[in-house]
Amino acid sequence: MKKSVKEYDLKKMIAFLFILSVMGCGSGFTRADFPKLIIGEWKAVSFGSHYSAMHISLPASFQFRKDNTYTQTFTETGTLKTRHGKYALKDNGFIYQIDFIQNSPSDALILGIITFHSENEMTLKLANGFVRERPSGNRNGDEQVYKRVN
């Protein structure tokens, strides 16, 4: 029995939608996974021009722990520096905010936007004051790109 054109087109459309849905799930994680994804050691692979102007350069890294503590290392004017503290992640709906509550070498509160592009790559953008920016916008070349080490 010969199939009608409509039935054939409907089957093609269903197959196409199925393929699209499978391709859309390729990342394997959602925003709800961010608190688990951040755990581990991350090595910076690039900094924006904003940090270069402040004489901050590579090598740099973050170590995020399950107890919400972190260690940050970075190079400032040729000297390796280390910072310690706690971090808090906040899902603000359209961005994922990260607060760094630094306690060593001095107390400070640093706000940022974190975006995971895969399980092994993230970008971090630090901000002064309230974080209201969408992650797709780049403010003055301040985006840092990190790759997972372990």
68 burial via Cβ count (<10 Å: 0-12, 13-18, 19+): middle
The residue behind tokens 């301040």 is 142
CA 87, CA 111: separation in Å to the nearest integer? 10
> For position 136, what pLDDT does the model report?
44
The amino acid at residue 84 is H
> For position 13, what pLDDT does the model report?
54
- In a structure prediction context, what are the per-residue pLDDT tens digits for the chain, which is 150 residues long? 555 555 555 555 555 444 433 333 345 677 788 889 999 999 999 987 777 878 888 999 999 999 999 999 999 999 999 999 999 998 877 678 899 998 888 888 888 888 888 899 999 988 754 444 444 444 445 789 999 997
> Within 13 Å and on the Cβ side, how many CA atoms surround 86?
3
CA dihedral 49, 40, 111, 68 (to 10 degrees): -160
Specify the pTM.
0.72
Q: How many residues does the chain have?
A: 150
